[in-house]
């Protein structure tokens, strides 16, 4: 069985865990190592067998716990070459499992694929993690959903997708115009409206769980995000669960057991 737990997501930090039969893969660790451990324990996530730490990009709200956790858990860092170059000084004693659009990484039961995003970082990526019973797409800090990201997120069992800001709340946030332009620009973050449009295109019969993540503290609310995305998913025929991740508490767990084969009629 595969389990997905969002340990926390928002402007102040992002982290999630995927478990399969006793092995754990951490995806982004944007809290201190101590806080990651506390949240994992509270959510019932075991860190006894962490096979790797996958990072989407180098920004602190996705990587701050990586140096200590990589050392203490003896876990390789899975990331793009650009992310590794930016973090190498802090991760000098860690092992690097290189990830690119043309390569995948297999760690225990987890197969990790990636697609580069348009965020203002050094070679940021969206991720897709597959296990024997589930396939989970994770896309934060998108800026714009490129064709490569759209392709990567197709046919997944679960999607964790950024819904960073509401367009109106961003305009009335009090942020200077240059900051607003950066957030809403191609190298910034995905709005609720853009997330809804992308998710509607990704709906398919096996999509069981959608989690909206990385909500801005100042420019979004759970109600705004859910209110923008839920109608689009319903119109697209989505029959699974829609959740909005919180900054200060875990969301999940979501369990994905092996599929039960459908009985087949005897050949006549």
pLDDT in tens, 117-143: 987 778 999 999 999 999 999 999 888
pLDDT score of 261 more than 50: no
For tokens 């180098």, name the residue. 58
66 and 59 Cβ atoms separated by less than 8 Å: no
Cβ contacts of 74 within 8 Å, gap of 6 or more: none
Give domain 2-249's CATH number out of 3.60.15.10, 3.30.1340.10, 3.10.310.30, 3.40.50.620. Answer: 3.60.15.10
pLDDT score of 224 more than 90: yes
Helices (H) and strands (E) in the chain, counts: 9, 14
Using DSSP's 3-state secondary structure scheme, residue 58 falls into coil
Q: Where are the domains of the chain?
A: 2-249
Given pLDDT bands bounded at 50, 70 and 90, which one contains residue 66?
very high
Query: Rounded mean pLDDT of the chain?
Result: 91
Tell me the CA distances in angstroms from 193 to 89, 126, 149, 158, one per residue in order: 38, 19, 17, 20
What CA dihedral angle connects 200, 191, 229 and 231, to 10 degrees?
A: -80
pLDDT score of 256 more than 50: yes
140 and 62 Cβ atoms separated by less than 8 Å: yes
Cβ contacts of 37 within 8 Å, gap of 6 or more: 47
pLDDT score of 260 more than 70: no
Given pLDDT bands bounded at 50, 70 and 90, which one contains residue 170?
confident
Tell me the CA distances in angstroms from 198 to 88, 150, 151, 169, 242, one per residue in order: 33, 8, 11, 20, 14
Given pLDDT bands bounded at 50, 70 and 90, which one contains residue 259?
low
């Amino acid at each position: 069985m595969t389990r997905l737990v969002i340990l926390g997501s928002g402007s102040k930090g992002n982290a999630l865990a995927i478990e399969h039969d006793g092995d754990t893969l951490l995806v982004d660790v944007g809290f201190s190592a101590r806080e990651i451990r506390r949240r994992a324990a509270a959510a019932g996530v075991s860190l006894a067998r962490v096979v790797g730490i996958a990072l989407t990009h180098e920004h602190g709200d996705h990587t701050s716990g990586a140096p200590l956790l990589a050392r203490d858990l003896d876990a390789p860092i899975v990331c793009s070459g650009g992310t590794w170059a930016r973090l190498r000084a802090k991760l000098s004693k860690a092992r690097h499992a290189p990830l690119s659009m043309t390569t995948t990484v297999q760690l225990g039961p987890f197969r990790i694929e990636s697609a580069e995003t348009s965020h203002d970082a050094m070679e940021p990526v969206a991720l897709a993690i597959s296990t024997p019973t589930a396939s989970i797409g994770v896309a934060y800090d998108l800026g714009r959903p490129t064709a490569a990201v759209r392709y990567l997120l197709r046919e997944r069992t679960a999607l964790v997708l950024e819904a960073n800001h509401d367009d109106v709340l961003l305009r009335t946030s009090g942020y200077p115009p240059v900051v607003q332009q950066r957030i809403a620009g191609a190298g910034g973050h995905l709005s609720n409206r853009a997330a809804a449009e992308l998710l509607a295109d990704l709906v398919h019969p096996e999509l069981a769980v959608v989690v909206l993540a990385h909500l801005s503290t100042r420019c979004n609310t759970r109600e705004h995000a859910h209110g923008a995305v839920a109608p689009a998913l319903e119109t697209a025929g989505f029959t699974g669960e829609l959740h909005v991740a919180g900054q200060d508490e875990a969301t999940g767990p979501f369990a994905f057991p092996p599929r039960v084969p459908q009985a087949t009629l005897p050949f006549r």
